[in-house]
Amino acid sequence: MKLYTPISRRFLRVWQRNWTVYRQSWKISFIPPLFEPLFYLLAFGVGLSSLVGNIRFRGEEISYIRFIAPALIAITVMNNAFFENTYASFVRMYYQKTFDAMMATPLTVEEIITGEIIWGATKAVIATAIMMAVIGLFGLIRWPEGLLLLPLAFLGGLVFGAAGMVCTALVPHIELFNLPVFLFITPMFLFGGTFFPVENLPGWAQKTALILPLTHLVDLSRAFANGRIDASSLPGIAYLAAFAAAVFPLALSKMRRRLIK
């Protein structure tokens, strides 16, 4: 039986619940996005870049560290949203039965899941802001154009959060998240134009990489961090928006099927 359940602004209540919990442990939550870029910049920027030196990227000579810094932000967006809406959401749904308790209130399943995904995107934005502060200190972000990374992080967060939520709706056990991580997250992390340009891949692999949302997010991050704001960004933004627009309703309907018994 189909119930008429519109999404109201009440999804913010679910978001607020996660924000309240986050504030309890913000000191701990702040540490990874603060130190992770430092580690990466140290390892790749200092360690590896002496081997790599400058690289040619889209007709420009840039330092390797300038090449990877925006990619680190894109990876953080992906990880924060995806892991929040897989492992963390699964714990709330399956072990803590938080969603069950919410479903006995005026909240609908759609509002609960929307709140969760928007929260995943919010975490991506918070982590991005912290990383931007760190990376900015190294002079690797151009201001004020770099501020566009924040709305971009939100869009990217919706993409990976919604994708994560689809996984949460489908996996029987928490261990099975290894599968989407291995098949979806890790390949993007390695081949999404993060540590080397997509152009270095063979032709078929380049085409495959363009299907992956992270490739576009990395590309846009690089453009915004370096102050390149022009029409060339539009296809990437359109792709991410379309991806989110397709996967978000899928997450809602799969979760509805899982939660409503």
Partner 1 sequence: MNPVIEARHLRKTFGVLVAVDDVSFAVNPGECFGILGPNGAGKTSTIRMIYGFSPITGGTLTVFGLDIARQARAAKARIGVCQQENNIDPDLTVLQNLQVFARYFDIPAAEAADRSRELLRFMALDHRENSRAVDLSGGMTRRLVIARALLNRPELLILDEPTTGLDPQSRHQVWERLEELRTGGLSILLTTHYMDEASRLCDRLLIMDHGRILVEGKPAELVRSHVGLHVIEAVAPAAELPAYLDGLGISYENLGHRLIIRVEDGTSLYGEINLRFCREGCIMRMATLEDVFLRLTGRELRE
Would you tell me which residues interact with partner 1 (CB under 8 A)? 1, 3-5, 10, 13, 16-17, 20-21, 24, 96-98, 100-108, 260-261
**Residue type for position 58:** R
- Shortest Å distance, C-beta 95 to partner 1: 9
Looking at residue 44, the DSSP 8-state letter turns out to be I
Structure tokens at 43: 């390892």
Smallest distance from the beta carbon of 12 to partner 1, in angstroms?
A: 9
> Judged by CB, which is closer to partner 1: 14, or 131?
14
Q: How far is the CB of 74 from partner 1 (least distance, A)?
A: 29
For the chain, the maximum distance between any two Cα atoms, rounded to a whole number of angstroms, is: 63
Long-range contacts at 125-129 (CB < 8 A, ≥ 24 apart): 125/150, 125/153, 125/154, 125/157, 126/29, 126/33, 126/80, 127/32, 127/33, 127/76, 127/77, 127/80, 127/153, 128/33, 128/73, 128/76, 128/77, 128/153
| Least distance in angstroms from the C-beta of 19 to partner 1 | 10
Reduced to 3 states (helix: H, G, I; strand: E, B; else coil), residue 230 is coil
Smaller CB distance to partner 1: residue 2 or 173? 2
Comparison of 106 and 151: residue with beta carbon closer to partner 1: 106
Q: In terms of CB distance, is 80 or 128 closer to partner 1?
A: 80
Q: Of 104 and 231, which has the nearer Cβ to partner 1? A: 104
Three-state DSSP class for residue 37: helix
What CA–CA distance (Å, rounded) separates 191 from 193?
6
Given the complex with partner 1, which of 24 and 50 has the nearer CB atom? 24
CB of 32 to partner 1, least distance (A): 18
Shortest Cβ distance from residue 172 to partner 1 (Å)? 17
Whole-number Å distance between alpha carbons of 117 and 165 = 7
211 and 126 in contact (C-beta within 8 Å)?
no
